[in-house]
Amino acid sequence: MARIFQKAIQLKSTLRYTQVSSTHRLALTNSPFTIATSHFYPSRCNTRNLTTKNAEGPKSSPPERLPFTRVTKEDLDFFRSILPGRTITDPDLLESSNVDWLKSVRGSSEVLLRPQTTAEVSQILRYCNSRNLAVNPQGGNTGLVGGSVPVYDEIILSTALMNKVLSFDHVSGIVTCQAGCVLESLSQYLEERDYIMPLDLGAKGSCHIGGNVATNAGGLRLLRYGSLRGTVLGLEVVFADGRVLDCLATLRKDNTGYDLKQLFIGSEGTLGVITAVSVLCPRKPKSVNVVFLGCGTFENLLKTFQLCRGMLGEILSAFEFLDSECMRLLNTHLKLSNPISDCPFYIVIETAGSDPNHDSEKLHNFLDEAMNAALVTDGTVATEESKIKALWSMRERVTEALTHDGFTYKYDISLPVELIYRLVLDMRQHLGDRARSVVGYGHVGDGNLHLNITSPAKDPALLAAIEPFVYEWTAQRRGSISAEHGLGLKKRNYIYYSKSSQAVTLMGDIKHMLDPKGILNPYKTLPDHLT
Ligand code: FAD
Ligand code: 2HG
Ligand code: ZN
């Protein structure tokens, strides 16, 4: 490990090897962050694609409660009869399911259902549909757009007890499991069998595979293994009326008709409840290296990315970045110290391959080249698991650090990669000293920027300065206003910045066909006039 950098040091003295001494796991527990007393609602919208139906633009006021039935004692009796001991009505136990991870959105559900089987999910939905009771599907509740918690009194249907692995094929590496398997547990299960999940993200200790599929989560390995749209081979889904759609294929190739599972990947619980998933998993790499580098300019960071793709090729598994403002928040709020010297930008590169010598050589050649071209100014490398984790935490824990900085306005933007940091610079200039912090980090390899802006408290004037500026900036460059987190409650009315009115109308038609009463995750994903 050190050898790579020792050789590098001989070539360029500015780059040094630093020992990373400690590891940190993401704590998805209570943060001192204040819970907003009302929902967060977007205030404006571009009128670029608005039809006459919504010509006034999205409302800043909360959506009104739709006329769903309120849960009665008879309803509770029914739920208790099919889910004895798993029908939760104790307000203390319901508390954490009513509030999102960011503590920015709160619902007031009085019932949490914890089914264990697909048959139970089917019974619940058939009943709710017949009674016109609204339902909020919930996985690990780590979603960042307010989609995972009720808006009003929707019944929460949790997949927490649907956590069984159903089968694993050692030859193909295809795992089939229930939707409530926690991503990290699945990863451990697979690693014991010499495979890994194609997906990894900072919330892995809490998020469920069903929630990952429902949000089409991207994460840290998308650059290497592609999106869940490619690696999910099959799904089992329960419709709003209780019918079960069995698309739980375990085939890599199947062109018989429409690929229906794609409708549910990224549908955020609005079209059906995902109850089981089959996923194609890569082999566990025999050698993993993580490099943490410092860069003087974003231009050099992009050049490093290009060089890296060319020289590391098939062993490159992640290329992530954070700016110096993120580093400041990690230092201040989480007491994580910078493993290298201070720089405007930091890069986390991971390689994963099958031959340690071959990978070392490739990495070493790449680092030589990056230093000789003066693209990077400092760096450290890790091959040992605990040190790898410590370096990754510098990237994975930025979201957590932000929750300690104040009220956070989050933007998850997809753009041509050369433009991603320009938005951060323009936003800083646009806001002047009105924000506490304006930070940029994300998945460079995927052209995905996480722009986060904090203020001491919720600040409507600041929000009005950020939006619609951020959405217009993105739409003008044909970017996406939600690269990987989805639209949920918070972004639903901004969909027209990234999708044509024809596309949104078709989405509404599909929603109506699969869930005519609109009981599944109402007020989410689709704009108000289609929910
Ligand atoms: P939840 O939050 O419970 O739900 C999310 C949405 O999916 C909701 O609309 C819900 O109704 C729906 N849903 C959940 N389960 C089902 C189901 N079985 N059937 C139908 N609908 C369902 N996202 C990324 O894309 N990349 C990242 O790198 C990333 N990093 C994160 C890091 C942190 C620290 C945190 C807190 C979040 C991060 N996220 C990231 C956000 C992300 O969307 C998720 O964490 C994850 O995919 C959500 O899974 P979950 O089980 O928590 O779903
Ligand atoms: C990440 O990549 C997540 O770390 C979270 O997608 C991003 O908090 C965010 O803005
Ligand atoms: Zn992300």
438-462 pLDDT per residue, tens:
999 999 999 999 999 999 999 999 9
> Are 83 and 113 contacting, i.e. CB atoms less than 8 angstroms apart?
yes
Q: In the prediction, which pLDDT does 50 show?
A: 34
Cα of 200 vs centre of ligand 1, distance in Å, is 12
Question: Which ligand is nearest the CA of 218, by number?
Answer: 1
Q: In the prediction, which pLDDT does 531 show?
A: 82
Look at residue 394 and give its three-state secondary structure: helix
Cβ count near 109 (within 10 Å): 24
- Residue 485 CA, closest ligand 2 atom number: 6
165-174 pLDDT per residue, tens:
999 999 999 9
Does 218 score more than 80 pLDDT? yes
Chain center to CA of 353: 25
Residues 6 or more apart from 502 whose CB is under 8 A from it? none
Does 180 score more than 80 pLDDT? yes
Q: In the prediction, which pLDDT does 209 show?
A: 99
Question: Which ligand is nearest the CA of 446, by number?
Answer: 3
**Average pLDDT for residues 289-304, to the nearest whole number?**
98
Look at residue 98 and give its three-state secondary structure: helix
- The answer to whether the peptide bond before residue 468 is cis (omega within 30 degrees of 0) is yes
Does 21 score more than 60 pLDDT? no
Does 358 score more than 60 pLDDT? yes
CATH class of 4-30+285-399: alpha beta
Q: Which of 47-51, 106-110, 267-271, 429-433 has the lowest mean pLDDT?
A: 47-51
- Residue 397 CA, closest ligand 1 atom number: 34
- In this structure, what token pair is assigned to residue 240? 């709003």
pTM: 0.91
Q: Rounded to whole angstroms, how far apart are CA atoms 306 and 373?
A: 13
Classify residue 252 by its DSSP letter.
Answer: S
Q: In the prediction, which pLDDT does 62 show?
A: 63
Q: Rounded to whole angstroms, how far apart are CA atoms 289 and 29?
A: 29
How is domain 165-280 classified at the CATH fold level? 3.30.465
Q: In the prediction, which pLDDT does 441 show?
A: 98
Look at residue 293 and give its three-state secondary structure: strand
57-75 pLDDT per residue, tens:
444 346 899 999 999 999 9
DSSP letter string, 410-455: EEEEE--GGGHHHHHHHHHHHHGGGSSEEEEEEEGGGTEEEEEEEE
- In this structure, what token pair is assigned to residue 376? 């990077």
Q: Rounded to whole angstroms, how far apart are CA atoms 66 and 84?
A: 29
Cα of 125 vs centre of ligand 2, distance in Å, is 32
Q: Whose CA is nearest to atom 10 of ligand 2?
A: 450
The best mutation among 113, 121, 157, 215 to test binding of ligand 1, ranked by most ligand atoms within 8 Å of the C-beta, falls on 215
Phi, psi (degrees; rounded to nearest 5) at 380? -145, 155
Question: Which ligand is nearest the CA of 269, by number?
Answer: 1
Q: Which of 27-41, 131-145, 312-326 has the lowest mean pLDDT?
A: 27-41
Residues 6 or more apart from 152 whose CB is under 8 A from it? 65, 107, 108, 134
Q: Rounded to whole angstroms, how far apart are CA atoms 403 and 334?
A: 11
Q: In the prediction, which pLDDT does 119 show?
A: 98
Give the CB-side neighbour count of residue 398, counting CA atoms within 13 A.
Answer: 30
Residues 6 or more apart from 482 whose CB is under 8 A from it? 145, 412, 414, 491, 498
Q: Which of 2-16, 141-155, 416-430 has the lowest mean pLDDT?
A: 2-16
- In this structure, what token pair is assigned to residue 188? 């451990």
Does 31 score more than 90 pLDDT? no
The pLDDT confidence band at residue 231, using thresholds 50, 70 and 90, is very high
Q: Which residue has the tokens 């590891």?
A: 23
Chain center to CA of 465: 25
**Helix ranges, 172-297 (H):** 183-191, 209-215, 222-225, 228-231, 261-264
Does 26 score more than 80 pLDDT? no
| Ligand 1 within 6 A of CB of 186 | no
Q: How far apart are the first and last CA of the chain?
A: 54
Q: In the prediction, which pLDDT does 78 show?
A: 98
Q: Pick 320 or 45 by higher pLDDT.
A: 320
- Average pLDDT over the chain reads 90
| Ligand 1 within 6 A of CB of 141 | yes
Of the candidates 384, 464, 452, the residue with the CA atom closest to the CA atom of residue 413: 452
Q: Rounded to whole angstroms, how far apart are CA atoms 193 and 231?
A: 18
Does 39 score more than 90 pLDDT? no
Q: Whose CA is nearest to atom 1 of ligand 1?
A: 141
Q: Which of 46-55, 59-68, 352-361, 379-388 has the lowest mean pLDDT?
A: 46-55
Q: Ligand 2: residues within 6 Å at CB?
A: 144, 202, 399, 410, 412, 442, 450, 452
Does 490 score more than 60 pLDDT? yes
Amino acid at 99: V
**Average pLDDT for residues 35-57, to the nearest whole number?**
34
Cα of 120 vs centre of ligand 2, distance in Å, is 33
Q: Rounded to whole angstroms, how far apart are CA atoms 213 and 217?
A: 7
Residues 6 or more apart from 328 whose CB is under 8 A from it? 437
Alpha-carbon distances of 350 from 195, 199, 292, 383, rounded to whole Å: 17, 14, 9, 10
Cβ count near 14 (within 10 Å): 13
Of the candidates 187, 209, 90, the residue with the CA atom closest to the CA atom of residue 140: 209
Indicate the domain borders of the chain. 4-30+285-399, 165-280
**Average pLDDT for residues 283-293, to the nearest whole number?**
97
- Residue 101 CA, closest ligand 1 atom number: 36
Beta bridge partners of 280: 174
The sheet carrying 87-88 orders its strands as 87-88, 112-113, 155-158, 135-138
- Residue 443 CA, closest ligand 1 atom number: 28
> What is the percent of the chain with per-residue pLDDT over 70, rounded to a whole number?
88
| Ligand 1 within 6 A of CB of 273 | yes
> Are 442 and 320 contacting, i.e. CB atoms less than 8 angstroms apart?
yes
Cα of 166 vs centre of ligand 3, distance in Å, is 29
Of the candidates 115, 80, 110, the residue with the CA atom closest to the CA atom of residue 95: 110
Q: In the prediction, which pLDDT does 63 show?
A: 86
Chain center to CA of 207: 9
- Residue 452 CA, closest ligand 2 atom number: 10
Look at residue 92 and give its three-state secondary structure: helix
- In this structure, what token pair is assigned to residue 500? 């044509």
- In this structure, what token pair is assigned to residue 104? 């920015």
> Are 317 and 392 contacting, i.e. CB atoms less than 8 angstroms apart?
no
The pLDDT confidence band at residue 22, using thresholds 50, 70 and 90, is very low
